[in-house]
Structure 1
Amino acid sequence: MCPRPATERTPVPGYAGPVSSSPTALPLNTDALPTHWVLTLSCPDRPGIVHGVTGTLAEHGGNITESQQFGDPDTGLFFMRVQVVSRSDRATLEDALAPVAAAFDMTWHLDVVGRRVRTLLMVSKAPHCLTDLLYRERHQALPVDVVGVVGNHPDLAEIAQFYGKPFHHVPVTRETKVDAEARLRQIVDELDVELVVLARYMQILSDELCRDLAGQVINIHHSFLPSFKGARPYAQAHARGVKLIGATSHYVTGDLDEGPIIEQDVERVDHSHAEKDLVALGEDVERRTLARAVRWHAEHRVLLDGSRTVVFR
């Protein structure tokens, strides 16, 4: 149950090897331009996984440019991320990989390296995470295509408009929460959203919505939890004389702020920092932590491992 090298050649009962050994294998299109693909997978750990995957890719003209794997001894699951350059198209590669995936009971995904993930940002009144993500998308090649911004308050509409993003004002109250989530679902469907980012969105999503969008919603919050809950957490932290402040970015689940963690970061502080200093430092660590989580998700570097994540950096 440990990572194994890519040179593994262990035979697997019931698996005949790379699909090109079959007379029905599709020929390589040598006239096609090469495409850089990224393949991610997880499955029960057993011998032969790496050989099955890399052998199939090689038989279809694949040149592996990056490969990472991890076997979790606690869950018994194996995780792998491979980037490969090949002239084979998506249908050819998916057809080739399907028997391997079936033989090893894989959950897997194939995508183009660098394809921008269609993303919806959700905000309330704090601008720092929204501004940072939109700046990184425009100027720092963050591989997302922000197709819209949803706010339960109108305060950040001007920022969205400055970056040319449609702003959807969807107010939320206890009485309108069901209707608001119905509108959110409509926006997600109409815009073909692949990723939702709660960029300091100060509302709790329903359990049903969390289940429906499992693994597709990323949140950011300060890392004082479970301490200093409720209003003005930095004021509470300052009053207690904390020495570290931080942020946690995680996938959203029905358990409030307890979803699988993607990234965390901290800043050291001391007695000389006033409350406003803690707030400023906290916002800074929040925005960079969220940006890393979003980038790693969009690059298919984050794989779910039960209540945890495997992050191939």
Structure 2
Amino acid sequence: MELCFLGTGAGRPAKNRNVTSIILQFAQSPHGLWLFDCGEGSQHQLMHTPYKINRISHIFITHLHGDHIFGLPGLLSSRAFQGGTQPVVLFGPKGLKQWLDTTLSISQTHLGHELEIREIEEGVIFEDERYRVEARILEHRIACFGYRVVEKAQPGRLKVELLKEMGLTAGPLYGRLKRGEDVVIGDGAVIYAKYVTEPPVPGRIITILGDTKPCAGAVELARNADLVVHEATFEAALKEKAKEFGHSTTKHAALTAKEAGAKQLFLTHFSSRYNDEDTEKLVEEAREIFPNTEAARDLHAVKIKAVKTQI
């Protein structure tokens, strides 16, 4: 899995930052690319990455402020122009469908592929055999969600040497055992999968939060996460301004990660008042509380490593 920040600024684009958008890439087919928020200029940022726009299959919108959605009609239109024919599933707050349907209709934009818009509430909003996505309401000026992407536990490695001692060589039976199925071999003996496999490998957890003040929902979404993306619009000294506008400071983000027992924190959604040199000072504020903190940078990709399994 790989996370790439297409934009890390708040409110409006700046010379050194675009507005919010994040790509999550999966190694496994058919998941392809998931997009979280789509501020103005997101498709242009995408052109500076190796990711292909027509591989975007799921889009998750945190809230309907312009710096998180104004790039969406253009991105969907370009996706269609570039041969994107596979369906797209779009998740977000109530009102997203009305806004996008109206924009596409009035501009006479025809996508040429199915677009399913799911206006969500709290809870599990997506699940398949490999991943689950949970959403919770955050505390902002308008309805805003955070998302928790959970990779389900994967089968543990096979005890190959033990199987060889039993006279079983690599082949289809190995696959069945790894899937947790018991198998019967030639002499009628049963090989029980639980005895020839290591314990399951825990999946990774990625938490991507929308704009928010400190709140319980953010902590629950970030609980034991491998990586948390949390807004840090303001420095710690501006905590009253952050509260007024429904945002967080660097230390608010760090406290959330610490309380949640997260492993790594990336700060994003920086006010345009901060330049690149200021960003390091913002990170240092957060590290006083949560040492494993980094600042997100436009077009910076982060690999989220998994425990390797062997067969």
- The verdict on a shared fold, with TM-score over 0.5 as the criterion, is no
TM-score by length of 2: 0.30
Higher RCO (C-alpha under 8 Å, 6+ residues apart): 2
Higher share in strand = 1
